[in-house]
Chain A
Amino acid sequence: MTRHDVEQQCREALQQNIPDKEALWKRIEANLPAQPAQQPAEEPPKRKISMVYRTIAAAACFVFVAGGLAVWGLSQTAKNARKTETARPSYSNNVDFAGEQAVQEQAAEAPAEEAEAYEPQGEAAAPAMDEQALDFAGDQLYDGTAKSEEAKRENKLTYAQLKVPQTTEIAAVTDRSKLKTGDSYFTEESVLENTFAIVKAEVLRGSQEESSGVMTYTLHVLESYSRGEGPGVTLTLSTSSPYLMEKGHVYYLPLHYDDSIPGDWELSYADAPQIECTQDGKILYHSGWATLLQRQSIPVVCEPQYDSDFFYDRMYLTDSTALEELLDVWASMQ
């Protein structure tokens, strides 16, 4: 028996019509008042504002603008001063923002027009992505760098062109060499079989333990799908995955639960990038997710995370609704 059969049975059982529709209509019609009460669609109430209030408001605006300009001037001075520094203070003790520093250095070295490539993609990118269901997005998406020119020739996007939070604060890491992948092969089936919960979560912070190299992330769980009791709203996750999750970015994370250690959640498969959400309703995933790959997707070239990263050019972008199909596959395994 398929799910479709069950749905069909439910439909047959539930789709009961009004026993005598015409008689019920006559009853309704007989009770109708002569004219319906006129209730125009709600509009915001108009408020009368006296001249006194207008004057006060104008004065307040002036003070606000003048104050804002003064603060802006101070912030520009401070920003200029910071540009001369080579390192930034971190949000975690004794760790560097390796990725952030790299981005800053690149941005500082790049001419003005190239530096714009490090800005999150504006509204111009989103409609092009929506049209033609992720058809090739067009020239305006390319930032002019060598990598994107190459990607353009190959009909691909680069990670920098995705609408994700500005990558300025990569989760803290001191030593990438301590982060190694395992050698197990990724298959969707084996990963999902091993998955107890799938959460959509935003990275609040991340830090690396110096001795072991293990990364610990604190995540805010936005959605949770679980075979039993899932993780709470705040999830602490430790992993040695070299695929760093970035602060402020949102990911779908298949999680495994270790029965021996209560409350200890692990990534179901740490040796590959996790599924990342963009701000315009897309998801970035690697080609191992066979179900997602069936959906119309466009290739995305990412920066290799380490020397033998073989996922960086196997990433794809598709609509986040595809995830429902993946959840369906997972649910069918239960």
Chain B
Amino acid sequence: MTDSEFESAVEKIRAGDSSGLREIYDAYGDRIYRIFLGKVHHHQDAEDLTSDFFLKLWECAGSHRSGQGHRSWLTTIARNMAIDHLRKSVKMMPVEDAEEAGLPPDTDTPETSVLGNMQAAELLSSLSEDEQEIVRLHVAAELTFREIAEVLQKPLGTVAWKYRNAIGKLQKRAKEGRLV
């Protein structure tokens, strides 16, 4: 969705036309869901949060300023909602419990998979929180490094560097066939 398409959708929302919200949902619903899933590690919670997100967007779309990068704006809202949710839920989910909590089932990866039987999600959990978030925002939410830098309020070079480092670590660990 381009900035102008987003602006046009926002105009519809301001006018009370839910088709504007639907357009944004079609374009970004899955990415928003992935951001939540990456944070809360729970399918049902991620769905609830996605629903809340679009209800909130319906209320606050008018506060979006023209010229403001809409993708990083949406991501910032989603990220803040996820952080609030985690604060409220008090407990953080241990990695071992992730499967029970609704993480993707432990299905076999294709034979061609270079990671073999190791779950990429499990590998990701071996990265630092910072690195995980950057990888998720880049790979799952499809944000550019510049947009991630805006969302996380970190220098662009640092974001790019951390991402490359994280991928390098995953590459090394996958080669070794072990988690560190």
Interchain CB contact under 8 A, B136 and A24: no
A-B residue pairs, 3 tightest by C-beta: A13-B120, A39-B62, A14-B140
Interface size class of B (residues with CB under 8 A): 35 or more
CB-CB under 8 A from A36, the residues of chain B are 13-14, 16, 58-59, 61-62
Interchain CB contact under 8 A, B124 and A327: no
User: Which of A26-34, A88-96, A111-119, A130-138 lies at the interface with chain B?
Assistant: A26-34
Interchain CB contact under 8 A, A327 and B161: yes
- Interface residue ranges, B against A (CB under 8 Å): 13-14, 16, 18, 21-22, 25, 29-30, 33-34, 37-38, 43, 47, 50-51, 54-55, 58-66, 104, 109, 113-115, 119-121, 124, 135-136, 139-140, 155, 157-158, 160-161, 164-165, 167-168, 170-171, 174-175
**Which of A12, A15, A16, A18 meets B29, CB within 8 Å?**
A18
Q: Which residue of A lies closest to B62 (CB)?
A: A39
Taking A10-B135, A32-B58 as contacts, is the C-beta distance between A21 and B30 under 8 angstroms? yes
Interchain CB contact under 8 A, A35 and B114: no
Taking A6-B171, A29-B18, A32-B55 as contacts, is the C-beta distance between A15 and B62 under 8 angstroms? no
**Which of B30, B119, B175 meets A18, CB within 8 Å?**
B30
Alpha-carbon separation in the docked complex, A95 to B61 (Å): 61
CB-CB under 8 A from A327, the residues of chain B are 157, 160-161, 164
CB-CB under 8 A from B109, the residues of chain A are 9, 12
Q: Does A307 contact B (CB under 8 A)?
A: no
* Minimum C-beta distance from B51 to chain A (A): 5
Q: Does A228 contact B (CB under 8 A)?
A: no
Q: Does A45 contact B (CB under 8 A)?
A: no
Interchain CB contact under 8 A, B60 and A39: yes
CB-CB under 8 A from B114, the residues of chain A are 1, 5-6, 9
Interchain CB contact under 8 A, B63 and A41: yes
Q: Does A25 contact B (CB under 8 A)?
A: yes
* Minimum C-beta distance from B39 to chain A (A): 12
